[in-house]
Chains A and B, each alone.
Chain A
Amino acid sequence: MDKPLTPGGQAPAVIAVEDLHKSFRIPTHRVDSLKERIVRPFSARDYRDLRALDGVSFEIRQGEFFGIVGRNGSGKSTLLKLLASIYRADRGRIRMAGRLAPFIELGVGFNHELTARENVVLNGVMMGLTPNEVRRRLDAVIEFAELGEFAELKLKNYSSGMLVRLAFAVMMEADADILLIDEVLAVGDAAFQQKCADAFREMKAAGKTIVLVTHEMKTVEEYCHRAMLIDGGKIQHLGEPGEVGRRYLRLNFEREAANSETTPEASEEVRLLDTWIADEAGARLTNVEHGEEIHLRFELEALRDVHGIGVGFIVANADGVGVFQFGIPVHKEDGSTALKAGERVHIGAAITNLFVPGRYFVHCGVNRNENGGIALYVHDAVDFVVFGGTEQANGIVELPHRIEATVEAGERA
């Protein structure tokens, strides 16, 4: 892929954010009914302030492809929602030039009881076009989505692939000056990802301003002119995407080291140090190509002497369906199974990647050999995306198979 050059520093700013603050009040006890409000009139004060954004200022210039990265809970999605006018800022200013189309989630505005045609019109108007403008573009959208013959079908009868294509076509046709995109690249099959990539390159060429929020460094480094790293509601770094990527990775490791004492991923007996997906050389990955081996790495520390444990994993797909379960009892080279406090267990697994493209979550459990209890269970210890491979949208795995078809001459021939 071509490495982007920063557009000239002279390009005018189209988004200017000054000293943006946003907190959320997290109720420790949520008052959900009038009755409760009347019975306990003061319980509404049981709030805890969560600072999502704490004084963020930056500018995005015209024609720029701008990446915003950060861990979950860093404030990046809050920032996006503020830019998209979904939340209102507590303090600070946002100024913007031109029409903005936010895509927080593909196809979120769709009404599944309506036909594709009606939904396209509705979405277009939502993005600020007049109904007539949308109707003029309608055919182009349907064509781009390759849904010609299904235009009058209600969306509830659509396959997920068709929905994604339609949503993407709507986004492309919105013809906004600024596009805000949140993680949409993580969905869909390889063909769709390719289409996304082409479309992005086209938009870039057309001089559109694009703001992309993601935690996928690969995307940022591939497309973005500049990127911004957010953590704890503050800008940690703003500049060249490669540098942002490096800082992002470093931040992830520091965070894990610093937080390991308080992490909830621990019980009285054992503590989960880290779980990650690696390539053959050992580098961390979030994407695995279909057919390549998935290397799962897992580190555990005993917090006190334990008699014997086993570690098990469940790989579940995005629908929460457990696809595959595996595990191993832990024993030392001499065959003993008891662990002393402070001893660490490293587990490495290699899984043949038969998963169909999509997002997967790994849950892990540590069980005691003796009385069979569970010492630790960590839901969603790590997740990864499988891309490439089959075009097949159905099913949860692609099993190795042989298939043949033969035709015999009929009796009457």
Chain B
Amino acid sequence: MNAEGAPAMREVHGPSALGGGWRRFFDLLWLISVTEFRRVYFGTVLGYLWSLIRPLLLFAVLLFVFTRVFKLGSDEVEYYPVLLLLGIVLFTFFQESTTTAVTSVVSQEGVVRKTQFPRLVIPLSTVLTGAFNFCLNLLVVFVFLFAFGVEPMWSWLLFPVALAALVVLTAAVSMALSVLYVRFRDVAIIWTVLAQVLFYATPILYPIGIVEDETIERILMFNPLAVIFEQVRVWMLEPSAPTAAEVAGGRVWLLPATFVFVFICAFAVWIFNRDAPRIAEEL
């Protein structure tokens, strides 16, 4: 019924995880993460140092405990201090990104309720901001690597593969938690505790290989983080260390971790997609 030359009409579907095209999505994601990172970086007097001091302090304490008090590191594990620091930095990225993400959607209430904003940008930007920090922290790790006399290896080139897996997992967990928190406020407390448990269940303080009981080793390797961390050790520090598959007791035993990984990702995508259109109403 419109006259010729009428503008093309498109369907309006309401809010969604991506909402309004990929380009806008990535523009927003990048812009928000960069501004947030800059704000933290330049916002306080010590800026970036603050985000470095926490993992470094934890590192110093744990290093003291496990090399002086328990005598674990120095004899049984080569480059134990570097392994410890690398583990802490990797885990800090996971923990800080996910913990910030939990409350991210709710704390952006005004934006969510009153603007047409791609919902997914909110948790993902906390991960990306965390990733910027993480990159800087990795520089410190490399300084330690060289200081402890680790020779550069070809297998270092595989490190990004492990990082990619870690980032994907962190993003998935962040997505799921941020949208669950909208409806269940105790998710924040539960996650703080769970993250603490994960810290000990993941080979940060100890390589899983030193656990005596084979069944426990296998169960610990159900954790996708454990697989990533064990493999990082092989690729970055000690090519002769047992690979993740060897620690788990054969390639077949990596399947549970793979399954957990895929399940978390699928669950995150499913629940975020399901709830994204209604977040504004639930708040």
Residues of A whose CB lies within 8 Å of any CB of B are 10, 12-14, 16, 24, 31-35, 37, 62, 81-89, 93-98, 102, 104-105, 108-109, 111, 113-114, 118, 121-122, 125-126, 128, 130-131, 177
Contacts and interface: CB of A to CB of B under 8 A. Distances in A.
A88 B111 CA distance: 16
Nearest to A114: B35
B182 to A, nearest CB: 10
Interface string B1-19: 0110111111111110001
B31 interface: yes
Contacts of B281: 24, 87
Nearest to A14: B7
Contacts of A118: 35
A107 to B, nearest CB: 10
B190 interface: yes
Contact of A113 (B32, B43, B190): B43
Contacts of B278: 88
B195 to A, nearest CB: 16
Given A12-B6, A97-B7, A83 B280 contact: no
Contact of A94 (B12, B39, B186): B12
User: For B11, B23, B116, which residue has the most chain A Cβ atoms within 10 angstroms?
Assistant: B116
A104 B115 contact: yes
Contacts of A102: 115-116
Nearest to A102: B116
Contact of B39 (A35, A89, A113, A125): A113
B185 interface: yes
B242 interface: no
Given A102-B116, A125-B31, A87 B15 contact: yes
B152 interface: no
B117 interface: yes
Contacts of B13: 85, 88
Nearest to A33: B186
24 contacts: A12-B3, A12-B7, A14-B9, A32-B184, A32-B185, A33-B185, A33-B186, A82-B14, A83-B12, A86-B14, A86-B15, A87-B14, A87-B15, A87-B277, A88-B278, A95-B9, A96-B10, A97-B10, A108-B111, A109-B117, A118-B35, A121-B31, A125-B27, A126-B115
A200 to B, nearest CB: 21
B250 interface: no
B7 A84 contact: no
Nearest to B27: A125
B190 A88 contact: no
A26 to B, nearest CB: 10
B17 to A, nearest CB: 12
B75 to A, nearest CB: 45
B31 A122 contact: yes
A125 B24 contact: yes
Given A109-B115, A126-B28, A88 B15 contact: yes
Nearest to B187: A34
A89 B14 contact: yes
Nearest to B112: A86
Given A14-B7, A34-B184, A86 B280 contact: yes
Given A86-B115, A104-B114, A105-B114, A131 B27 contact: yes
Nearest to A25: B281
A56 B16 CA distance: 23
Given A13-B2, A24-B281, A35-B186, A114 B39 contact: yes
B239 interface: no
Given A12-B6, A32-B184, A122-B35, A108 B12 contact: no
A92 B258 CA distance: 42
A23 B31 CA distance: 35
A148 to B, nearest CB: 21
Given A108-B111, A113-B39, A114-B35, 9 more contacts: A13-B2, A14-B9, A33-B184, A82-B14, A84-B116, A85-B15, A96-B9, A125-B24, A177-B7
Contacts of A87: 14-15, 277, 280-281
Contacts of A108: 110-111, 114-115
A88 B14 contact: yes
B47 interface: no
A95 B111 contact: no
A109 B6 CA distance: 32
A62 B35 CA distance: 37
Interface in B97-119: 110-111, 113-117
